[in-house]
Amino acid sequence: MNDDSEALQRNLLELLQDLVAFTTSDDSGVVNPVIEWNDEQHGAQSMNAPDLFIFKDEPSGNADHLRFDAHSSERKNLLKLGEIPAVQDRFYTLLKHRLQTEIQRNPPLFPWETEIHDYETEPAYEIADSAVTAGVSPTQQRVPAQVWLQQLKALNLPLQLPEGLLSQLLERCQEAVQSSLLEGARLVKSVEDLFPDQLQALNHLAGMVMTSPARSGATAAPPGTNYPESYESAVPAQQMVLSLLAAREIMAALTLPISLSQPRLERQWLTDLGALSLQADYGLDATAAKLRLQAALPSGGSITLRGEQVQASAQRSTAGSLSVELLDFQPQQPYMLEVRLDDQEPLVFAIRVTD
């Protein structure tokens, strides 16, 4: 891993640490800084609040002015234990305001974008939008069977995510990988329903996640890292980052990339019934391209390979191997592999030709 990638990863991990620094400080180190905001519309006002600067922005003529009086008598006003919930609520409100202000002033772009793009108008969002319009909450929407969640419990994240959240992420990631959106837009799509009215903040944080290298088993937290004890105790911005990191790993596991230079791909997915093993073989013959999928099922079930106008299926009543093949494979078209175990909800993989 090069120096740039290591720096990006450190910055992303430090975001989780910095956001909880004020809640984990002991009484001897708590200081109430004095903040002065100068705004043409609202006038000047001062208040006591924690440091809201998460991102280091370039100064501008209209930038808010922040002053810390570290030597004032405010140092003596230490937080009492009973005041912490009120301070946290105030912090969340100010943090949201700060993020919205910074993003409105400098709208974020993904690394691959050259102009602002309104993702809410994409056709692929219509299903999610209709569910929200109908008053269907995220917890009321269909979630995948528990049998598939064993794989997600091994995600390499700073902390373990709740099973209910993993189930929702898996469902949304299966929908996102089937869309024709760019990778970054699919990432935002997979988590946006979990954080209503936070699309701009998600776009900003997703850019950080996308440019950060994937964590590996050998990646250790930097010395002094102070992660929240659980997902529930994390502040909203931390929850967004954790959800985006999890969604990136889930979508990577649900995507089967193949090419002529790497025509064979093997993938394994852990389930409560045992390991599901997949093998994809892609190649050309004298007349057309062909794709063959083999699956070793831990129980009875079926596999279905779907294209825009074709599909091939196979099933069996006991554990064992199945295979399907398309002899007129069209690389430019989207293909999905649906795997079903017994009567469980299916798991859907996206097949992408990378040539």
**Alpha-carbon gap, residue 310 to 214, rounded angstroms:** 35
Per the CB < 8 A criterion, the answer to whether 303 and 293 are in contact is yes
Strand 289-297 relative to strand 274-284: parallel, antiparallel, unpaired?
Answer: antiparallel
Classify the phi-psi angles of 89: left when phi > 0, otherwise alpha if psi is within -120 to 50, otherwise beta. alpha
Spell out the per-residue pLDDT of the chain, length 355, in tens: 555 555 555 556 555 565 555 444 444 444 443 334 444 444 444 444 333 333 444 444 444 444 444 444 454 455 555 556 677 777 778 887 787 777 777 776 666 566 665 554 443 334 334 444 344 444 344 445 689 999 998 888 888 899 999 999 999 999 999 998 888 899 999 999 999 889 999 999 998 888 876 655 434 455 455 678 889 999 999 999 999 999 999 999 999 999 989 999 999 999 999 999 999 999 888 778 899 999 999 999 999 999 888 899 999 999 999 999 988 888 888 999 999 998 889 999 999 988 7
Tell me: do 310 and 325 sit in the same domain: yes
Residue 340: enclosing H or E segment and its boundaries?
strand 335-341
To the nearest 10 degrees (0 to 180), the angle between helices 183-191 and 199-211 is: 130
Same domain, 16 and 95: yes
Which two three-digit tokens encode residue 161?
């995510």
Q: Are residues 89 and 147 in the same domain?
A: no
Q: How many CB atoms lie within 10 A of CB 104?
A: 9
pLDDT at 37: 40
Count other C-beta atoms under 10 Å from residue 303's C-beta: 24
pLDDT reported for residue 46: 40
**79/141 same-domain check:** no
pLDDT for residue 299: 96
Q: Which two tokens stand for residue 246?
A: 């999890």
Of the three residues 105, 130, 162, the one that is the final residue of a domain is 105
Residues 75 and 124 in one domain: no
Q: Is 310 exposed, middle or buried (0-12, 13-18, 19+ CB in 10 A)?
A: middle
pTM for this model (two decimals): 0.62
Residues 277 and 240 in one domain: no
The answer to the question of residue 114 being in a domain is no
Query: Which single residue is written with the structure tokens 């980052």?
Result: 241
Give the range of the structural domain holding residue 62, as residue numbers without chain letter.
3-105
The pair phi, psi for residue 125, each rounded to 5°, is: -90, -5
Same domain for 269 and 247, yes or no, is no
Residues 181 and 67 in one domain: no
Please tell me the predicted confidence (pLDDT) of residue 279: 97
Find tokens 């799509």 and name the residue.
Answer: 189
Q: Which two tokens stand for residue 58?
A: 């370039």
CA–CA distance, 177 with 249 (Å, rounded to integer)? 12
User: Looking at the 3D structure of the chain, how many domains does it have?
Assistant: 3
Whether residues 66 and 131 fall in one domain: no
- Looking at the structure, tell me whether residues 248 and 333 fall in a common domain: no
Q: In this structure, is residue 291 part of a structural domain?
A: yes
CA distance 158 to 180: 30
Q: Residue 239 and residue 165: Cα distance in Å, rounded? A: 11
Q: Which two tokens stand for residue 110?
A: 């993904």
Residue 223 forms part of a structural domain: no
Rounded Cα distance between 267 and 253, Å, is 8
What is the separation, in whole angstroms, between the first and last Cα of the chain?
25
Of the three residues 105, 134, 152, the one that is the final residue of a domain is 105
Same domain, 154 and 91: no
151 and 99 part of one domain: no
Is residue 316 within 8 A of residue 297, CB to CB? The reply is yes
- Strands 311-316 and 34-37 turn out to be unpaired
Does some domain include residue 145?
yes
The contacts of residue 271 (CB under 8 Å, 6+ apart) are 147, 148, 150, 151, 298, 341
Work out the angle at residue 263's Cα, subtended by the Cα atoms of residues 171 and 147, and round it to the nearest 5 degrees. Answer: 25
In a domain, 170, yes or no: yes
Q: Shortest CA distance to 12 belongs to which of 231, 233, 206?
A: 206
Judge whether 84 lies within some domain: yes
CATH of the domain at 273: 2.60.40
In the block, which residue shows the tokens 């299903």? 127
- Look at residue 165 and tell me if it is in a domain: yes
